[in-house]
Structures are given as structure tokens and as C-alpha cells.
Amino acid sequence: MEISIVGSGYVGTTVAACFADLGHDVVNIDIDAEIVKTINDGDAPIHEEGLPELVAEHAGPSGTGRLHATTDYAAVLDTDVTFLCLPTPQNDDGSIDLSIMEAGATQLGETLAQKGDWHTVVVKSTVVPGTTEETITPILEAESGTTAGEAFGVGMNPEFLREGTAVDDFLNPDKVVLGADDDRALATMHDVFDPLIKAADAPVVETDTRTAEMIKYANNAFLASKISLINDLGNICKEFGIDAYEVADAISLDDRIGEQFLRSGVGWGGSCFPKDTHAIISAAEEQDYDPTVLKSAVELNDRQPHRLLDLLDGHVDVADERVAVLGLAFKPGTDDVRNSRAIPVIDGLRKRGADVVAYDPVATANMREHFPDIEYADSAAAALKRAQGAVVVTDWDEFAALDAEFDAMADPVVVDGRRIVERREGLTYEGLTW
């Protein structure tokens, strides 16, 4: 198939490169000429495991030529189907901001006005239920001067890509969700995905666009709530002096619970769980429904960084003292600090008057944008030196190896928010839920 992808973020670029790897001809359209140039040079514009190899293989000067990028929407005219992979950020009140999607749909609709034959548009961005049908499709019709179902088809295909494993998640999906409001759009989506479905033997969910939109939110909100539930139970364990991880290991043997996403600790961050959970809560409330469990999951997640600092307060008065924060990324394997639990932790330490020194293997530059005036160390050892206390917020493997470095602390007190530091003699150690 000839495919156009609008948007080159970690979803758009990953999807474009993977579609090319499946044998399709792909053009990635982005407003950023720098990103376009990077891809056409055969380089990956974002850090994702496996992506540089795919972009080099399909877009590089000696590549297959199945992937290229452009800033020009007219490239759509030479393709059969367009995937919209544009950001849907969060408004201040938690509701979804569709302005970028609406602008993309407008430009796409204007372009489709010039296309004489059938075209399929697939929404891949995470949008609240009803958006494809009630917002995107009307824009495409108005701007193209044509009617959906007659001149073009519309589908919705949510992604389930995790940062750091996006390529592997795409090529080894646990499901492929094809939401379509007309049969031709469904047929086109099968033409695109059948090579993947066959190669990965992936289950296919065929539904309408509104249900496909909700499947994405339900997936993320459920996983976020599962973490908040194990954190709620973990907090109870802590009050009883019980190790929540021993409890989690036991209940994971019940295959109705499973073993994934049972790591209690300082909570969930990232660009998706917070945004998507808030967006579906806001959308539900607009329908006059009060999603109490989801709201409690968010409230409990907000509580965890404060519980971490309360445990530190129990051992150290941090006012005017040097405190090390180990880990700034929202999870290991990424430099992304969006909604990282380290942000409220650093904020809370500064409110206590602590002198914060922070360390992360790769996320320092991004965190400096949030806190330009705290000290950043080049290593965990340097951060710990002379520190009156330390908190661990990201479970980087290197923190599991820390041992003698704690001896350089002025007062070896460590509160571990991710169960990554080994307890040892001479260390006052507190686990958040163990």
C-alpha cells in the first residue's frame, strides 16, 4: 500500500518505519523541516530501541527507499491511506486538547479536495470517544467538499506503544484494533495490517470508531488504576510492616490478576497514563457520569510522592540539608520526564527548604527545564557525597549496584520509591511499600 503518516513523534515515526518494514511505501509528513531532514538522511529523530536501524534501512541513502519524509501535505495525493498521528495534549482542566488534530484534519481535508479517487483516513492519535465521528469526519467533509462513505472512508486504529519499546510493541502486538465506520475503510485497514497480523499471529478486533477510541482509554486507565490499586494495598502493607512485593508475588499467581503492573512504589508518570486518565475522566463528567474509581486512582497516584517524603521526614529534618534525588525519568530506559514522579518529589523537598542535588543517567537536560536552579550531579556517587538523605524515584538498574557510595553520605538515610536499592548494614533504609 501507499501510506501517508501525518506526525513524526514517537508514534508517527515508529509506525512509519514499521509500515515500511512490512513492505508498504510510506511518506511521513511533519511541519518540522529538521525532523523531515533527519528521516531523509536515514536517521531516527527520536530515541526508540530498534528505530534507527529501521529508518536507516528504509529511508537512508542506501536504503530500500520505502520510507521518506516531507513537510508537504500534497504527498497525501500519491497515497491510498493517511494515518493521523498528531499530539492530543491535556488542557489545564485535564480535558483533551484537539486543536492540533483539528488543524491536521483541516489541512488533510483541503488536500483531499484535490484527490479524485477514494482515500481512507485513519485516526491513530488517542482521542476521546466520538471524536472521529463527530469532530474529525465533519472537518474532512467540510474542507474536501465531499461526503464520508462516498469519496473517502474513515477508520480509527489506536496504538498501544510503550516509550522505550515502541518498535517491539508495534511488531509484536497483543491485539490489532480496527475501528471503521464503513466497509471500504475496514478493507483498506486490513490491506495495511494483514502482513503484521499474519507475521505476529495477532488477534484482530473489528469494531466501530467510537468503540476503538474507548478501547484505548480503557486499556490505559485500567493499567494506571491497577498500579494505583497495588499502591493502595502497598500503603496498607507498609502500615502493617508487611512487604507489598511478597504479597504481590503471591497474588500474581492468580491468573486473573497476572504478574505485570504490580510493582508498587512512587507511582505512574509519562506522557500517556496521566493525560489519558484525566481525559477520559473529563469526558465522562461531560456525560454527567462521575468516574469515582478512576478519580481515586489519580488521587492515590498524586499521594505517593508525598508518602515518600513523609518517610524521609521521619528520619531527617531536611531543611538546609543536602538531599540526593536518584532518578528523574518517568521510568527507566527513557530521558522523558513528562509527569515524572521526581517532579513532585523535588518540589516537596524544595518546599521543605532542602538543598537538592539530582542525578539521572540520561534525563538531566529535560529535568533542568523544570528546575534550572538545583544542582545536578554527573553520577549517583557524586549526588550521594555529603548528602544528609537520599530518595530513589526511578528504577534504573545502576542504582541496584550502589553500595559503598552510601558510605560517602553525611547521614546514610535512603528512602526507596522503586524497590531497586539493596538494603545493607550501616544504611537506614525505608521502602515506600515494603
Residue 314 corresponds to which amino acid?
Answer: G
If you search the block for the grid coordinates 530498534, which residue do you land on? 50
Nearest to 340 by CA among 321, 313, 362, 318: 362
375-376 β-sheet, strand order: 375-376, 355-359, 322-326, 389-392, 413-416, 428-431
Tell whether residue 179 is a contact of ligand UDX (CB under 6 A): no
Q: Cβ closer to ligand UDX: 120 or 339?
A: 339
Tell whether residue 263 is a contact of ligand UDX (CB under 6 A): yes
Tell whether residue 265 is a contact of ligand UDX (CB under 6 A): yes
Q: Cβ closer to ligand UDX: 7 or 265?
A: 265
DSSP state of 166: H
User: Looking at 170, 273, 396, 434, which residue binds ligand UDX (CB under 6 A)?
Assistant: 273
Distance CA 155, CA 192 (A): 12
Q: Cβ closer to ligand UDX: 159 or 181?
A: 159
Q: Which stretch binds ligand UDX (CB under 6 A): 31-39, 53-61, 138-146, 159-167?
A: 159-167
Q: Cβ closer to ligand UDX: 108 or 392?
A: 392
Task: Tell the smallest beta-carbon distance from residue 142 to ligand UDX (Å).
Answer: 31
Binders of ligand UDX among 40-79, rule CB under 6 A?
none
Tell whether residue 162 is a contact of ligand UDX (CB under 6 A): yes
Tell whether residue 350 is a contact of ligand UDX (CB under 6 A): no
272 catalytically annotated: yes
Q: Cβ closer to ligand UDX: 151 or 230?
A: 230
CA 254 to chain centre: 28
DSSP state of 160: -
Distance CA 21, CA 16 (A): 9
Cα–Cα distances in angstroms (integers) from residue 73 to residues 100, 168, 297, in the given order: 15, 29, 41
Q: Cβ closer to ligand UDX: 50 or 153?
A: 50
User: Looking at 45, 270, 305, 361, which residue binds ligand UDX (CB under 6 A)?
Assistant: 270
User: Looking at 81, 154, 161, 409, which residue binds ligand UDX (CB under 6 A)?
Assistant: 161
CA 273 to chain centre: 7
If you search the block for the grid coordinates 528504577, which residue do you land on? 395
User: Looking at 85, 178, 262, 383, which residue binds ligand UDX (CB under 6 A)?
Assistant: 262
Task: Tell the smallest beta-carbon distance from residue 330 to ligand UDX (Å).
Answer: 4
Catalytic, out of 18, 85, 237, 272? 272
Tell whether residue 272 is a contact of ligand UDX (CB under 6 A): yes
Tell whether residue 176 is a contact of ligand UDX (CB under 6 A): no
Tell whether residue 220 is a contact of ligand UDX (CB under 6 A): yes
Tell whether residue 305 is a contact of ligand UDX (CB under 6 A): no
φ/ψ region of 419 (left if φ > 0, alpha if ψ in -120 to 50, else beta) reads left
DSSP, residue by residue, 101-146: HHHHHHHHHHHHTT--S-EEEEE-S---TTHIIIIIHHHHHHHHTS
Q: Which stretch binds ligand UDX (CB under 6 A): 127-135, 234-242, 268-276, 344-352?
A: 268-276
Distance CA 178, CA 180 (A): 6
Tell whether residue 307 is a contact of ligand UDX (CB under 6 A): no
Tell whether residue 232 is a contact of ligand UDX (CB under 6 A): no
User: Looking at 58, 68, 124, 331, which residue binds ligand UDX (CB under 6 A)?
Assistant: 331
User: Looking at 19, 160, 376, 406, which residue binds ligand UDX (CB under 6 A)?
Assistant: 160
C-alpha cell at 74: 500534497
Evaluate the CA torsion angle 98, 276, 371, 44 in order and state its sign.
negative
369: three-class secondary structure by DSSP = coil
C-alpha cell at 270: 509519562
Tell whether residue 291 is a contact of ligand UDX (CB under 6 A): no
Tell whether residue 367 is a contact of ligand UDX (CB under 6 A): no
The helix/strand count (H/E) of the chain reads as: 16, 14
The answer to whether the beta carbons of residues 327 and 428 sit under 8 Å apart is no
Residue 238 corresponds to which amino acid?
Answer: K
Tell whether residue 237 is a contact of ligand UDX (CB under 6 A): no
Binding site for ligand UDX (CB under 6 A): 159-163, 220, 223, 227, 261-263, 265, 267-270, 272-273, 330-331
- Would you please indicate which residues are annotated as catalytic (active-site) residues? 272
